């Protein structure tokens, strides 16, 4: 694996960890009502998407189980259609998709998967 890809994967994990800290012990209602929290989560999702966009084609091709295009697509929607962000979808990503992504990225990096 290229060193640059490794750095990007670590950036993705750092953003996932931040989102987990931001949302730990909270509910959707609290998340949706807390502008600072959902803006922070959205920013970290943008970082994940930007890192995914920059991962080499070779690594993306070698790891087809990761939804690279969808991750980048979400980043594009968050950045370019910011006024139309559906917080319900963001919450669903946080609760369902991010734990899976975290495990996939850790596996690629050879980190212990919990």
Domain boundaries, the chain: 3-109
pLDDT score recorded for residue 2: 86
Dihedrals phi, psi of 99, to nearest 5 degrees: -60, -35
Q: Which residue is catalytic, options 4, 77, 80, 107? A: 80
| pTM, rounded to two decimals | 0.93
Rounded distance between C-alpha atoms, residue 6 and residue 81, angstroms? 29
pLDDT score recorded for residue 50: 96
Instruction: Walk along the chain (114 residues) and give the pLDDT tens digit of each residue.
Output: 689 999 999 999 999 999 999 999 999 999 999 999 999 999 999 999 999 999 999 999 999 999 999 999 999 999 898 788 899 999 999 999 999 999 999 999 986 555
Q: Is 15 in contact with 71 (CB distance < 8 Å)?
A: no
Is residue 80 annotated as a catalytic residue, yes or no?
yes
Rounded distance between C-alpha atoms, residue 29 and residue 87, angstroms? 10
Q: Which residue is catalytic, options 38, 75, 77, 107? A: 75
Is residue 75 annotated as a catalytic residue, yes or no?
yes
Tally of residues, the chain: 114
User: Distance between alpha carbon 1 and the CA centroid of its chain, in Å?
Assistant: 20
């Amino acid at each position: 694996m290229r060193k640059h890809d490794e750095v990007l994967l670590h950036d993705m994990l750092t953003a996932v960890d931040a989102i987990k800290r931001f949302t730990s012990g909270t509910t959707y209602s609290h998340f949706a009502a807390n502008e600072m929290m959902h803006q922070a989560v959205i920013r970290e999702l943008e970082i994940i998407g930007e890192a995914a966009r920059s991962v080499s084609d070779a690594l993306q091709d070698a790891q087809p189980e990761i939804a690279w295009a969808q991750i980048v697509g979400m980043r594009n929607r968050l950045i370019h259609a910011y006024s139309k962000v559906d917080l319900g979808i963001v919450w669903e990503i946080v609760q369902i998709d991010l734990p899976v992504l975290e495990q996939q990225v850790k596996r690629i990096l050879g980190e212990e998967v919990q």
